[in-house]
Amino acid sequence: MASSTNFIHPTAIIYPNVVLGENNYIGAYCIIGAPAEHKTNWGKTNDIVIIGNNNVITGLVTIDGGMENITYIGNNNFFMKGVHIGHDSHIWDDVIISCGAKVGGHCVVNNKVNIGLNAVIHQRQNISEGCMIGMGAVVTKKLITKAYSKYAGNPAKYIGSNEGSHSPA
């Protein structure tokens, strides 16, 4: 379901299980709503993807349909080329995900998170509000993030506060 206020590049593939809000940009070669990449449930379900308003999804981005739940993308997010969002993940508002970053299935990425180039987020991870995940970071299943903090490395570790333009007043 697409509104006339959305731009969808002609090469993008938007599955019928996708619900789009208003004023979204979906760039070249994006695939949104494809079945969840899960070995034991392959092809069994293809649940809804909900995308809110004012998102920029630049190109070559994949957002998988849910397997057990919806995959949800909130509002005012910016996804750069080559981003992958796994099934059943919830990406809230004002999130920036840089080129090549991967978010595993069942993840929650809270408001105002910034995920760096080629970072990898383990499935079922919860990234707290206002966090910055550094370039190339590997967020393992053991990491527990704190709001408005920075994490970097492999495995990712706390490196400091992320107080700045996104922090609470």
H/E run at residue 64: strand 62-64
- Name every residue whose Cβ is closer than 8 Å to that of residue 51 and which is 6 or more positions away in sequence: 18, 19, 20, 21, 24, 32, 57, 63, 73
Q: Each residue's pLDDT tens digit in the chain (169 positions)?
A: 444 699 999 999 999 999 999 999 999 999 999 998 877 777 666 689 999 999 999 999 999 999 889 999 999 999 999 999 999 999 999 999 999 999 999 999 999 999 999 999 999 999 999 999 999 999 999 999 999 999 999 999 999 999 864 555 4
Instruction: Say whether domain 7-161 belongs to CATH 2.160.10.10.
Output: yes
